[in-house]
């Protein structure tokens, strides 16, 4: 899934702040904008806007998607897992740790850093 849509994060953050949104910068390639109306997750390659009335449903759907990705990871062979890690420019151990943390729901992420 690569849509090749380029977004200027600095420009997005500036406009979101002007519109009264609270902007949370998360690294150089992602930010979040929140208002009482909606939440936006924006990266340099795309964006998703979630109306506040759909946020609870989005979180549930996202949890299902994460659980599905973890299940699919478990079904891969060791060779496939290593290949995926190479594609992601990670070691197998790093990617294994990411999948483990996803299974835990992201708990203890800061403790492991």
What mean pLDDT do residues 15-23 have? Answer: 93
Say what the pTM is: 0.72
Closest to 29 measured CA to CA, from 10, 4, 15, 14: 10
The residues pairing with 23 across neighbouring beta strands, listed in sequence order, are 33
How is residue 37 annotated by DSSP? Answer: S
Q: Please say if the pLDDT value at position 110 is more than 90.
A: no
Q: What digits encode the pLDDT tens for the residues 34-71?
A: 999 999 999 989 899 999 999 999 999 999 999 999 99
Residue 95 near residue 87, CB atoms below 8 Å: no
């Amino acid at each position: 899934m690569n849509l090749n849509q380029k977004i200027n994060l600095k420009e997005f953050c500036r406009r979101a702040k002007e519109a009264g949104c609270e902007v949370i910068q998360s690294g150089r390639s992602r930010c979040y904008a929140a208002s009482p109306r909606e939440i936006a997750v924006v990266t340099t390659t795309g964006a998703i806007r979630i109306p506040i009335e759909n946020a609870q449903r989005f979180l549930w759907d996202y949890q299902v998607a994460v659980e599905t990705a973890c299940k699919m990871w478990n079904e891969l062979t060791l060779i496939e897992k290593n290949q995926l890690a190479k594609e992601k420019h990670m070691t197998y151990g790093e990617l294994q740790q990411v999948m483990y943390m996803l299974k835990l729901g992201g708990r203890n992420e800061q403790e492991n850093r």
